[in-house]
A and B are shown apart, each in its own frame.
Chain A
Amino acid sequence: MITLSGVKKSFGNNHVLRGVDLEIARGTSMVIIGGSGTGKSIALKSILGLVTPDAGTIMVDGKDAATAERDAFLARFGMLFQGGALFDSLPVWHNVAFRLMRGALQRPKEEAREIAIEKLRRVGLKADVADRLPAELSGGMQKRVGLARAIAAEPEIIFFDEPTTGLDPIMSGVINDLIREIVVEMGATAMTITHDMTSVRAIADNVAMLHDGVIQWSGPVADMDQAGDPYLDQFIHGRADGPIEAVR
C-alpha cells in the first residue's frame, strides 16, 4: 500500500501541493485526475523521490520512502514517462533491458536482450524494432517501448505519467488496454496520472481528483459519475462553467 499524508510542495510562491492525503491499496489501479498544473506529476515524482516534499510523509508498505534504501526501493517501481524518456543513444532493446543490465537485477547480456524482446512482443512490437534507435520510432511505438521498459523487471508498482498524451484515439485505446491487461496480469499496484477521461474509465479501479493542491474527491471509478462533487462533475464532463476556473 502507498500512503501519502499531508504532502506539501512549493516552488517559490507557487504552492503546488498543499497537503495531499491519499491511499492506494496493493494490487489496485489508482488514477489521479486534475487540470494541467495542479501538481499530479509532482505528487507522483514525490513518491519516487525525484522531488523532495517540503512536508508530509510517504509510506510504501509501511516504510518511509524518504529513509528507504534507494536501490532496493526503486527496484520495486516501473515508470512510463509522459514523453517516453527513452535514451536516444541506446537501441530499443537496450532501453527496455536497461535495469536488467546493472545493479541487483543484472542478467547476462543475451538473457537481458531476450527478456527485452519478449517484453516488446508483450506490448505489440515486433522483434525487428529491438535494434532500432528510439528516434526512428513513431510516438505510439515510443510509448509502447516506454511501457515495455516499465514492466521489464516485473515491478510490484507501476506509475504511468499521462500515458495517452499526444496519441491518436486508436493508439490511446491500445495503450489503455495494454496498461489494464499488464496491471491485471502482473498483479501490480498502478498509479496513473491523466486528464483523459477515456483512460480513466479504461484503467482505473479508483480515482482521485487533485485540485488546488489537495485531493478534492476520491473513490471507486464506478461512483465517479454519481459523486455529486461539483469540481469532479465539471472536470469529467469538460464544462467551462463551474467552480474550477477555466483561465488559470
Chain B
Amino acid sequence: MSILKKSIIASAALALPFAVSANSKLEKMMKDPSQWVQQSGDYAGHRYTNLDQINKSNVGSLKVAWTFSTGVLRGHEGGPLVIGDMMYVHTAIPNIVYALDLNDDQRIVWKYNPVKGGKFPGGETMDRVISVMCCDNVNRGVNYHPNGTIVLHAADTSVIALDAKTGKEKWITTNLHAGTGKYGVSASTGSGQPFIIKDTVGVGCSGAEFGVRCNWTSYDINSGKRLWRAYSMGPDKDMLVDPNKTTSMLKPIGKDSSLKTWPGDAWKIGGGSIWGFYGYDSKLNTLYYGTGNPSTWNPVVRPGDNKWSMTINARNPDNGMAKWLYQMTPYDEWDYDGVNEMILVDMKVKGKNRQALVHFDRNGFAYTMDRASGELLVAEKYDPAVNWATHVDMKTGRPQVQDRYSTAHQGEDVNTTNICPAALGSKDQQPAAYDRLSGLFMVPTNHVCMDYEPFKVDYVAGNAYVGATLSMYPAPGGTHLGNMIGWDADKGKIVWSNEEPFSVWSGAMATAGGITFYGTLEGYAKAVESKTGKELFKFKTPSGIIGNFMSYSHKGKQYVGILSGVGGWAGIGLAAGLTDPTAGLGAVGAYSALHNHTALGGVLTVFALP
C-alpha cells in the first residue's frame, strides 16, 4: 500500500466520531500552546511551542519576569508544567512538588514532600536512597493526567498520584526496591518521568550501575493497580515479546532472543535501565523508549550481545507487547546507554514520506527509523569526533566497532585510550527539540573523550557494580566540551554547530518565533536563531542549567521557564573541569573548572518581554 493511501485511511479514521478519551483530552491540551502539559510538551517529544510573541527580532530584549527558589540543592533536571493557571515545579531529592498560582503572584497553593520522618513512601530512608543514586539526586519531572492528577516518580521508585488541585495523595505504589538488595531488583531508583498514556501511567527504572534488571511498568491511573511489566532482558515472557511477531531489523526476533546473548544467568543483574524521555504515537498506539547499559561496565564478564540492553523499544501500551526492537550498541563496552529521548516526526527521508522516529544516542550516532515498522533509515555520527565505530552497517544495523577502541578486545586491566565519545555520550539525557519551521533538530551535545579500563568486580547486592575506571578529557583538537548543533535527520548532517565551553546538559526548546532556547552548565539561558544557530540572547541564571526549557502564556503574554540547579552526571564529571591548567606548556585551558563559574541551588527563572 502506498504511503499516500495509508495516510488517507488514517485521516478517514480520524474523522470518525469517537468517544472523548483521556488520551484525546490530553492531546488536545498539548495542542494548546498556552499550557505545557507534559515534560516534553507533547507526545512526539518535539519540545516546540507555537507561541511566537517572543521571536528572533525581539528576544534580545527578554527580561526576567519572576524567579522561584525550590529550596533544594543538587541537580535539577526536567522542567515545570503549566495546567490552566497553575504551575507545577518539582525538585531533586526529596522530590518536593510545588503548585504555584499564576493568577496570584505565584503563591504556593500546595507543597508536597514524599519524604516523611526521613523516609520515602516505600520505607527506605532518604539517606539510603541517596546512596544508591548513581549520579546525583536528579528527578526528570512530574506529569499530568486530565482526571486532575499530577504524577510523581520519586527516587525510591514510588509512583505517587496527587490531586492537582489540593496536592493530596490519591494513591501511592512503590514500583521496585530501592534498598532491599534482593537479587535482580536491588538498588533500583527512580529518576525518569512518569509517562501518561490513556488511563495509565508508566515508569522505567534507574540503577544499571547497581546490578538491577530494569523494566517498564504500567499502572492504572485511577487505582494505582499494576497492569503490566516488561523487563529489558530475560525470558520472553518477562520481556513481553512474541518470538514470531516482535521484529528487529524487520525480522522476527525468534525464541529466547535475550537469554541466548548472556552468559549463564548474568541477565538477572543485566541492567538495561530506562530513565530518559519517551514518545507515544496515538495513531499507531505505540510507546517508544530506550534501554540503558548492560551491567557491569566490564564487558569481559558478559560476552554476547546482551539483548535487549541499549535498545529502542516500540510497544503496545495496552498490554506491553513489543512490536519492534532495535539494539543500537550490541555488547556495550563503553556505557553508551540507549535511553535518550524518542522524537516522532512525519518527514521526508531519502525522498519518501515517513513516519519517522529520530533518536540521538549516547553512542554518538543519530538514528532515523520508520517508527511503524522499525526499519533503520539513517544512522550517522552527530559529532565528528566519534571514533569507537566507523559506521553502522545498514543491512545488519550493527555498528562496526574499531578494535583499538574496543575495551573488550583490549581486555581486562588494559587501559583503552582516546575513545570518543566518553561514557556520558555525545549526548546524555538532555533532550533535543524539533524545529517545525526549519525541519531541523536542535541538539545539545557533549564533546568529550575518554580512557576506559575494565576490571573484575564482585556483585554485592545493593551496592555499586561498575567494574571499570575512566578518565575523560575534551575531544582532540579543542578545549571545549560541548556543542549546540542544528541537525538534518534526513541527510544525517550537522547544519550548524556552536561551541560551548562545557557539555550542553539542558533540554532545548524550539519556538514558532524562529528561535531555540538552551541552557549551559555555567548557568546561561541562551536563545539562538533556529535556522543558523546565531546567538540572540543570553542571561546568567543563579546556577548551572541541566533542566529543560518550556513555554506558556498567561493573560495573553508569553513566558519561557527554565530550572537551574547544577549537578547530575555533568556536575560530577565537570565540577573540577577536565583539562589540566598546563599554562606553562602553551595549552590554554581557558575554562577549566565548572566550580569556578557556578554553585548549587534549585531556582526557576521565568522570562518575558518587558
Query: Are A and B subunits of one complex?
Result: no
On B, residues with C-beta under 8 Å from A are none
On A, residues with C-beta under 8 Å from B are none
